[in-house]
Amino acid sequence: MTEATYSTEVPYLRTFTNDMSPPVLRLAAALSGFAPPPEDDFDYCEIGCGNGDNCVTLAAASPMSRFVGVDLSPEHVDFANKLARRGGLENVSFLERDFESLPDDDLPQFDYICAHGLLSWVSTQKRRAFIDFCARKLKPGGLLYAAYNALPGWAGLAPLRRLILDGAASAEGDLLQKAARGLALAKLLCDSGSAYFEQNPTARAMLETMSKAGLPYVVHEYMQPHWHPMYFVDVAREMADKGLAFAAELPLPLNYRNLTLGPVLVELTNGITDRLVFESLKDFALNELFRRDIFVKGPVERSDEIARDFMDKTVFGSVSFPDRTPRELRLPHTTLELRGPVFEVVLPAIAQHTLTLADLRRWTSLASHEPGELREAMLYLLMSGHAFPMRRPTEPPEPSSGGLYRLVSPFNHMVVTQRLSPRTPIVLAVPASGAGLPLTMLEAMCLRIVTHAAEADRPQWIRSFVERQPLKLFVRAAAAGGRSPDAAHDKLVEGPEEQAKVLAAELVQFCEKRLPKLVELGLVEKVTAPEE
């Protein structure tokens, strides 16, 4: 009989994170000197998969690979299976199981196993069972992604959880009603100038996060029977005891001490060669709330040559919209400026073409730059999101925003035509990269327009749509006195006529700045008849 340790009364939020995508995991492992698992034709498992958004998106992005999602909640698994069917996916399955009782014989060996947050909300027994499962079911050299609430960052938030639990204990009703009572008590104390919140700005910020995320987030984050923020070194040692060696942390810059720590701490830690000791000290330096760690099934050797070889041979491209990705990368103690002679050549190149570092070295304009300089520039572009490892080449389309388009895959068609909501992930599967491409609600609306109406018919299509389905649209308020616009003062656009104007203006920008990238990635193509 297995131990019930997690409440499934309230469904979890629908979420998606590219951190769990195989190309991101491969990239992080390779840059840290570990030979990565296959980029395609692999087996992938997510433990605690929730509503299945990660698994189904990644399965659509890697149709030649196989995915398994496992969750304790019948409601989650039912939703995930329906999502997969609606997306026309046959390479993903979901199991309603406690991971302690997973049937080993019915499951393959995996190249990737992922668990986002799970370790923070299960008992010690369950955590050890999870690690045992990963040690048994990962292939040699396979990667484990484990994200969890980290100490010492969460130390100052433990009283906030206690406050919410105490407030919830006196409330009648279900878990959501109890969470509402606990949250209301915490807000009351915060608003009244309580010293705890005044002296703990992280707790005050977390209270704002809870208010925005909603009561289901409060239930799952704070009201589970087991709640265990953990020190990295304790997790790493438990993993190491089972043959799982620490490989890297996400985001990528956290693996480079000169990018992570201030000059004084860099100098103080330069003599530390034990990675576990350094990571432990780094957590105190940064006081992070959440760690995203990658472990590799050993025994494996680490080599700087693996990292250089990966960088030199990988095809890189862009899966982001250029105007959405800034030209600087802000890190805890420094800012990387993506400017200078190398970046002025590489940035526009990577935005329009897929290429390797060898391709770049052949460019006359880059001939005077050393290989190490180009490698470092590409590394910074990977960290900033301007560049991404690609599985196949892409080419920019011919300039055109007119005509009618169609979404190539049934899954992406389902994503764009589903009922849009701020709480619903809107993520296109990108087979060229093996990852996902998040869209805003407005971008999804514009994509729906260009796949349902030819250019001449779009104004009427927009008017008919907003009359049938009034939207909650906001426009950014104009900045005053040279200050940056404040999202808190965005203006609500009401009425079908005004909403139609906003959508029409947004559509012009979408066709100019977004649509060409979607065509380049092979997600959208021109057609002669509307999609049904």
Taking the C-alpha atoms of residue 366 and residue 360, their distance in angstroms, rounded to an integer, is: 7
At CA 300, angle to CA 298 and CA 305, rounded to 5? 155
Cα dihedral value 268, 271, 277, 280, nearest 10:
20
- Quick one: which of 186, 220, 216 has its CA closest to 200? 186
Q: What is the pLDDT of residue 494?
A: 74
Taking the C-alpha atoms of residue 353 and residue 214, their distance in angstroms, rounded to an integer, is: 41
Taking the C-alpha atoms of residue 251 and residue 243, their distance in angstroms, rounded to an integer, is: 24
Q: What is the pTM of this model?
A: 0.92
Within the chain, how many helices (H) and strands (E) appear?
22, 18
Question: Would you say residue 2 lies in a domain?
Answer: no
CB 407 within 8 A of CB 356: no
Q: What is the pLDDT of residue 421?
A: 80
Same domain, 26 and 146: yes
Taking the C-alpha atoms of residue 228 and residue 409, their distance in angstroms, rounded to an integer, is: 41
CB 315 within 8 A of CB 389: yes
Same domain, 120 and 199: no
Same domain, 370 and 513: no
Same domain, 113 and 194: no
Of 350, 365, 389, the position where a domain reaches its end is 389
Of 389, 412, 427, the position where a domain reaches its end is 389
Tell me if the bond preceding 397 is cis, omega within 30° of 0: no
Same domain, 199 and 184: yes
Q: What is the pLDDT of residue 490?
A: 64
At 406 the three-state DSSP class reads strand
Same domain, 410 and 513: yes
Taking the C-alpha atoms of residue 254 and residue 249, their distance in angstroms, rounded to an integer, is: 6
Same domain, 463 and 346: no
* pLDDT tens, residue by residue, 156-172: 999 999 999 999 998 88
Average pLDDT per run of 10 along the chain, which is 532 residues long? 57 90 98 96 96 97 97 94 97 93 87 95 92 96 97 94 92 91 94 94 93 89 90 97 98 94 90 93 94 95 94 93 84 90 91 90 85 92 95 76 86 93 90 95 92 91 84 57 43 79 90 92 82 50
Of 343, 358, 389, the position where a domain reaches its end is 389
Taking the C-alpha atoms of residue 249 and residue 525, their distance in angstroms, rounded to an integer, is: 37
At 258 the three-state DSSP class reads helix
Same domain, 357 and 504: no
Same domain, 148 and 163: no
- Quick one: which of 438, 331, 309 has its CA closest to 19? 438
Same domain, 74 and 170: no
Strands 110-116 and 43-47: parallel
Q: Which two tokens stand for residue 48?
A: 């605690």
Strands (DSSP E) contained in 26-137 are: 43-47, 66-71, 92-96, 110-116
Q: What are phi and psi of 148, to 5 degrees?
A: -155, 160
Same domain, 106 and 58: yes
At CA 509, angle to CA 507 and CA 515, rounded to 5? 80
Strands 66-71 and 43-47: parallel
Question: Would you say residue 12 lies in a domain?
Answer: no
Q: What is the pLDDT of residue 483?
A: 36
Same domain, 171 and 193: yes
Residues of the domain holding 208: 155-222
Q: What is the pLDDT of residue 439?
A: 94
Neighbours of 398 (CB within 10 A): 8
Question: Would you say residue 398 lies in a domain?
Answer: no
Taking the C-alpha atoms of residue 442 and residue 510, their distance in angstroms, rounded to an integer, is: 9
Neighbours of 169 (CB within 10 A): 10
Strands 244-250 and 316-317: unpaired
Residue with tokens 């969890």: 148
Question: Would you say residue 233 lies in a domain?
Answer: yes
Question: Would you say residue 309 lies in a domain?
Answer: no
Structural domain count of the chain:
4
Taking the C-alpha atoms of residue 521 and residue 451, their distance in angstroms, rounded to an integer, is: 16
CA 334 from chain centre, in angstroms, equals 23
- Quick one: which of 95, 103, 91, 92 has its CA closest to 136? 103
CATH label of the domain that carries residue 123: 3.40.50.150
Taking the C-alpha atoms of residue 148 and residue 429, their distance in angstroms, rounded to an integer, is: 26
